[in-house]
Amino acid sequence: MKPRLLTILSFATGLLLSTLGCSKKDDPQSIANTGSYVSDGRKVSCTATGGFYSSLGNDNLTFDLATTPQPPAGKEVLRLIYTKSVAQPTSDYALSQLQLLNNGAISTLYNADAYTLTSHSDGTFSGTFSSGTKYPNPGTAAPILTGGVFSRVHP
């Protein structure tokens, strides 16, 4: 009886281990918390995190796209802030700020020229964005941000 039990346990363990090695290519969570954008022709890959806060009658979603790998000069993060009135539906979020932070300090503010924000049933958000102008003076030269995207980030 013991050899048979050992064979069954061995088979079950092998089956379990083989399922753990399956690819997650089709799993939406496998693309979660990623992002990228192009800044002045340089493609920037990112790890994305999110947050939520309320202030002055507004709901705010923040998405931080941390450059990966980080540049030698220090931590670089592009912060996107979407805002809506507390009474409005999620579909009313508008991209209100794009901030480039270097080592935690805002180095550049951008105008939001184009953006999307999609909420998913699992509570995550995906979006796109671009900017070609610096805030508050559109005439001031700034790196152009194009092709910005983030996927399945939980605030």
Alpha carbons within 13 A on the beta-carbon side of 38: 5
CA distance 51 to 49: 7
Centre a 10 Å sphere on the Cβ of residue 31 and count the other Cβ atoms it contains: 12
Q: What is the pLDDT of residue 49?
A: 96
Burial of 105-124, coded b for 16+ CB within 10 Å and e otherwise, reads eeebebbbbebebebeeeeb
The tens-digit pLDDT sequence of the chain (155 residues) is: 455 444 444 444 443 333 333 333 344 445 579 999 999 889 999 999 999 999 999 999 999 999 999 989 899 999 999 999 999 999 999 999 999 999 999 988 988 889 999 999 999 999 999 997 777 666 666 678 999 999 999 99
Q: Which strands form 42-55's sheet, in the order they lie side by side?
A: 105-110, 94-102, 76-85, 58-67, 42-55, 34-39, 145-153, 125-131, 114-119
**Identity at 58, one-letter amino acid code:** N
Q: What is the pLDDT of residue 9?
A: 42
Question: Can you tell me whether residue 133 is helix, strand or coil?
Answer: coil
